[in-house]
């Protein structure tokens, strides 16, 4: 089969239906002799058995290592010899196998992915090696203050919800996982009803259809696993979580609560507001925290999305002695944003920035294909990315300020700080008005 496209076209929904999968996307481009391949599932680590967090991620990594009954080293050497790269991911909402390869090796590369997703061997020796490596990664992560602070922020904000469960697992949960658990997860997840395929680069739509058929031929036609991940509840009141780590001269601070979802009518307006408040290096937070006071190199806010509502959060990393004043400033800025909103000039600058920078999200075939996969994985509104700039341009000042008042939390906030509690605990408590609860967590706590 010839991989070179004759015209920029993409398979229709009927094409995906012929394969028995929810979606198949193609972004053809002969500009470079490269092809990107994505095999993604509409279910993910939310299916980890209770108490066995990390199982889905382990399963995905084991597939990558043992496809074709190879060892991890043999798999790496084979993929390198093809002029390719292949990676796996596992989040609460998806498992993905994504790779790039030079055009002349595409057929053999596709067979490698086929072996990964359709014929895993679940080698016991590789499983044991992977367990040890993962435990080592968790120990190493104890040295990453930002990762620790973010992890406990999410665990407490989404307590009792799948978004609060660590997809990497914990030392305790990893010890409970057996190879049989991974095989059972594989059988639940790897069915055609969960598969979203995407091809980008130097191939025809006809070739993509054939490769898609190859990647799914042996997968069962069983029904999709029901998506039982509901809407998160968030927290009530203002809560402080201190991740206590000895001898910290610098802190990591995450402040936030529940955000929005692209299905919300005011999501785009709130996204524009977040850009003004803390979405860029010139936004309000960085200007006040960094430029005016020199407390931290940067201060940002984020408003990500997932299949259900995610968090709105602020992040910065001041010195220990500045942590209390910095938190007080951030809370005051959030209150001011809710009460006074944004200005007309801020709105104009943010809209211009968002529309212009969107070009970097769609400037390659692989990026465009990835966005189309995301639209299915995260259940986004129709033409969410295609109409992005039009929606941004249409946002009014009134809509932005209404979204801020209606969506951004001020009272129901979680403040998570990694630092040395003995040095900063008192200042942190004083910095947060109407504080309802304080929890101190040792940084090396394993649960």
pLDDT at 131 over 60: yes
Q: What is the per-residue pLDDT for 5?
A: 38
| Phi-psi region at 247: left, alpha or beta (left = phi > 0; alpha = psi -120 to 50) | left
For the domain made up of 238-442, give the CATH fold: Cytochrome Bc1 Complex; Chain A, domain 1 (3.30.830)
Q: Please identify which residue in the block is written with the tokens 């998806």.
A: 94
The Cα 302–Cα 309 span in angstroms is: 13
Query: Of the CATH numbers 3.30.1370.100, 3.90.1010.10, 3.40.50.720, 3.30.830.10, which one belongs to the domain with range 13-216?
Result: 3.30.830.10
pLDDT, residue 12, reads 52
Q: Specify the pLDDT at position 171.
A: 95
H-helix segments, 69-204? 72-81, 106-118, 124-141, 145-157, 171-175, 179-189
Q: How far is CA 410 from CA 265, 302, 413, 432, 434, in A?
A: 21, 15, 6, 11, 11
- To which H or E segment does residue 87 belong? strand 84-90
Structure tokens at 252: 């990591």
- CA 447 – CA 443 distance, rounded (Å): 11
- Residue 2 pLDDT class (50, 70, 90 cuts): very low
Extents of the domains making up the chain: 13-216, 238-442
* Percent with pLDDT over 90 in the chain: 92
Largest alpha-carbon pair distance within the chain? 69
What does the pLDDT average to over 325-330? Answer: 98
Question: Which residues, in sequence order, are CB contacts of 398 under 8 Å at separation 6+?
Answer: none
Give the Cα-Cα-Cα angle 335, 340, 346 (nearest 5 degrees). 110
* pLDDT for res 315: 98
Nearest to 355 by CA among 275, 421, 447, 237: 275
pTM of the predicted model, to two decimals? 0.92
Edge-to-edge, what's the strand order for the sheet holding 23-28?
Answer: 23-28, 195-201, 34-41, 95-102, 84-90
pLDDT tens figures, 44-70: 999 999 999 999 999 999 999 999 889
Encoded tokens for 334: 């959030």
Residue written as token pair 């229709």: 12
Strand order in the sheet with 299-302: 299-302, 311-316, 252-258, 414-419, 238-244, 435-442
Note the residue count of the chain. Answer: 447
The stretch 244-266 carries a mean pLDDT of 96
Model confidence at 6, pLDDT cuts 50, 70, 90, reads very low
- 234 Cβ contact list (under 8 Å, min separation 6): 157, 257, 258, 409, 412
Element (H, E) at 327: helix 323-340
Nearest Cα neighbor of 302 from 278, 332, 282, 331 is: 278
User: Using N-to-C axis directions, what is the helix angle for 205-216 and 106-118, rounded to 10°?
Assistant: 30
Say how far apart CA 57 and CA 88 lie, in whole Å.
9
Asked whether residue 3 carries a pLDDT value surpassing 50, the answer given is no
What is the pLDDT at residue 17?
81
Q: Give per-residue pLDDT as tens, 198-222.
A: 999 999 999 999 999 999 999 999 8
Residue 30 has pLDDT above 70, yes or no: yes
Structure tokens belonging to residue 108: 């053999």
pLDDT digits (tens, 9 = 90+) for 350-405: 999 999 999 999 999 999 999 999 999 999 999 999 999 999 999 999 999 999 99
CA angle 157, 399, 338 (to 5 degrees): 50
Same fold flag, 13-216 and 238-442: yes
Q: Report how far residue 164's alpha carbon sits from residue 141's, in angstroms, rounded to the nearest whole number.
A: 17
Work out the average pLDDT over 340-351: 98
> How much is the mean pLDDT over the chain?
94
Tokens of 409: 């939390």
Q: Identify the pLDDT of residue 447.
A: 78
Please check whether residue 200 is in contact with residue 3, taking contact to mean a CB–CB distance below 8 angstroms.
no
């Amino acid at each position: 089969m010839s991989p070179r496209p004759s015209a920029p076209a993409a398979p229709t929904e009927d094409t995906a239906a012929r394969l028995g999968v929810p979606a198949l996307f193609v972004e053809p481009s002969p500009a470079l002799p490269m092809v990107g391949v994505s095999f993604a599932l509409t279910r993910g680590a939310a299916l980890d058995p209770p108490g066995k967090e990390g199982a889905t991620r382990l399963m995905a990594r084991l597939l990558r290592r043992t496809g074709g009954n190879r060892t991890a080293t043999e798999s790496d050497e084979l993929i390198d010899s093809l002029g390719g790269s292949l990676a796996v991911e596992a989040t609460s909402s998806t498992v993905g196998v994504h790779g790039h390869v030079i055009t002349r090796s595409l057929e053999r590369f596709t067979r490698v992915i086929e072996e990964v997703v359709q014929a895993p061997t679940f080698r016991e020796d590789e499983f044991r090696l992977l367990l040890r490596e993962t435990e080592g990664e968790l120990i190493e992560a104890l040295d990453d203050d930002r990762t620790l602070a973010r992890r406990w922020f999410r665990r407490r904000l989404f307590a009792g919800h799948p978004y609060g469960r660590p997809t990497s697992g914990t030392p305790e949960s990893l010890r409970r996982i057996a190879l049989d658990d991974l095989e059972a997860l594989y059988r639940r997840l790897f069915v055609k009803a969960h598969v979203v395929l995407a091809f980008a680069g130097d191939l025809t739509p006809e070739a993509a259809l054939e490769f898609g058929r190859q990647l799914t031929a042996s997968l069962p036609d069983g029904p999709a696993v029901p998506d039982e991940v509901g809407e998160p509840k968030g927290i009530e009141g203002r809560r402080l979580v201190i991740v206590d780590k000895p001898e910290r001269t610098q802190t990591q601070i995450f402040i936030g609560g529940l955000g929005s979802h692209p299905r919300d009518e005011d999501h785009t307006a709130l996204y524009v507001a977040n850009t003004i408040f803390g979405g860029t290096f010139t936004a309000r937070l960085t200007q006040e925290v960094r430029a005016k006071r020199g407390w931290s190199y940067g201060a940002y806010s984020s408003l990500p999305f997932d299949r259900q509502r995610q968090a709105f959060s602020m992040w910065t990393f001041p010195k220990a002695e500045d942590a209390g004043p910095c938190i007080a400033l951030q809370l005051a800025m959030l209150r001011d944003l809710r009460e006074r909103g944004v200005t007309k000039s801020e709105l104009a600058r943010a809209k211009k920035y968002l529309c212009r920078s969107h070009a970097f999200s769609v400037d390659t075939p692989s990026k465009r294909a990835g966005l189309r996969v995301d639209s299915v994985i995260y259940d986004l509104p129709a033409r969410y990315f295609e109409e992005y700039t039009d929606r941004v341009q249409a946002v009014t000042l009134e809509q932005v300020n209404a979204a801020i008042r209606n969506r951004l939390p001020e009272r129901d906030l979680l403040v998570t700080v990694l630092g040395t509690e003995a040095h900063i605990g008192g200042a942190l408590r004083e910095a947060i008005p109407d504080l309802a609860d304080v929890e101190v967590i040792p940084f090396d706590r394993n649960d």
